Amino acid sequence: MAAAPTFAELEAAAERGDDDEVVRLGEAAVAARPGDDAAHELLARSLLALGRLDEAERHANDAVRIDPEEVGYRELLAEVLAARGAHRDAADEFARLARNDPRQSDWELAAARQRLGAAQPELGADAARRAVRLDPRNGRAQLALSQALARIGDAPGALQAADLLRIVGHQADRGDPEVGQDAGGEIVRPEVALAASPNVPGLDADSLQPHCEH
């Protein structure tokens, strides 16, 4: 009987980006070592990349069950749930992460997006507000807040958030490297809000353009 793959072999396949090989090795590894939480994690990530979402969720849950304190496992589970369209469950996971680390705006923002996907705009607005309070210069947080307020019929609030998004985008255009960017450093353009929130009265292309100073 062949020896079970080592974690080093599994990790090497993951580093190469060979998801099929990760799945092949990972399934053998967790069969031999069902308590290997790190193997479950790598297996879940590759299954997610391959679109095998039910299996990815099972292994992400296994990793969380084995080590419920590992933040990366819970974040992975939330990502899998979001990919499956289980937006409410994903939002609950992101909200749990945010409660455990209240300084982290990205998880509040992720929770807000999933609440919107779960048709829970009021909860989405609450999460987006928390994200904005934690990082007022995060354009994606301002956008999420504008979308959520639009969904609950708060046109003035949505317009205010969109206007702040416009200002953030304008500052990014003027070269401030810390303004108008998401966590990955991508500049958020304010005109994105128009496509994302098309039903807000008064939110049009002109309202989202930076005002030139003469």
Secondary structure (DSSP) of 58-115: HHHHHHHHH-TT-HHHHHHHHHHHHHHT-HHHHHHHHHHHHHHSTT-HHHHHHHHHHH
Does some domain include residue 91?
Answer: no
Q: Write down the pTM of the prediction.
A: 0.72
User: Residue 145 CB: number of other CB atoms within 10 A?
Assistant: 28
- For residues 38, 43, 46 and 51, what is the CA-based torsion angle, rounded to 10 degrees? -130
The verdict on 80 and 125 lying in the same domain is no
Is the pLDDT higher at 89 or at 140? Answer: 89
Indicate if the pLDDT at residue 82 is higher than 90: yes
Number of structural domains the chain divides into = 2
List CB contacts of 165: < 8 A, sequence separation 6 or more: 139, 142, 143, 146, 188, 190, 193, 208
The verdict on 113 and 212 lying in the same domain is yes
List CB contacts of 205: < 8 A, sequence separation 6 or more: 191, 194
Domain holding 49, by residue range, is: 9-84
The verdict on 47 and 114 lying in the same domain is no
149-172 pLDDT, tens digit per residue, is: 989 988 888 888 877 777 655 444
The verdict on 137 and 199 lying in the same domain is yes
State the amino acid at position 174 in one-letter form: R
The verdict on 65 and 19 lying in the same domain is yes
Confidence of residue 68 (pLDDT cuts 50, 70, 90): very high
The two tokens of residue 148 are 């959520």
Which position has the token pair 């003035």? Answer: 156
**CATH at residue 131:** 1.25.40
List CB contacts of 141: < 8 A, sequence separation 6 or more: 105, 108, 109, 112, 128, 131, 132, 134, 135
**CATH at residue 13:** 1.25.40.10
The verdict on 35 and 79 lying in the same domain is yes
As a residue count, the chain comes to 214
Is the pLDDT higher at 6 or at 2? Answer: 6
Does some domain include residue 160?
Answer: yes
Does some domain include residue 133?
Answer: yes
The verdict on 113 and 203 lying in the same domain is yes
